[in-house]
């Protein structure tokens, strides 16, 4: 029962975007850490969410 509750909570976090930073760190470690370790470190939590919000809301957002 506890495992089902944990799985449900992970799904809720994924759908709401609450785990976006953890997913970013996982992606960075898998795909970019080897080639960019000396050049670029992963973004801080604050910088990540600022960039995420900027991508979401800056620019023209209209249907027509």
Length of the chain: 64
Domain-wise residue ranges, the chain: 19-54
Closest-CA residue to 25 (of 6, 47, 9): 47
Model confidence at 43: pLDDT above 60: yes
pLDDT tens digits along 1-23: 999 999 999 999 899 888 899 99
Q: Answer whether 0.85 is exceeded by the pTM.
A: no
pLDDT band at 38 (very low <50, low <70, confident <90, very high): low
Half-sphere exposure in the Cβ direction for 58 (13 Å, CA): 6
Q: How far is CA 44 from CA 3, 22, 23, 27, 51, in A?
A: 30, 11, 13, 14, 11
With a pLDDT cut of 70, the percent of the chain lying above it is 88
């Amino acid at each position: 029962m506890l495992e089902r509750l944990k799985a449900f909570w992970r799904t809720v976090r994924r759908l709401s975007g609450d785990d976006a930073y953890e997913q970013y760190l996982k992606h960075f470690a898998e795909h970019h850490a080897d080639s960019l370790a000396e050049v670029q470190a992963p973004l801080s939590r604050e910088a990540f969410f600022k960039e995420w919000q900027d991508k979401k809301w800056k620019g023209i957002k209209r249907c027509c």
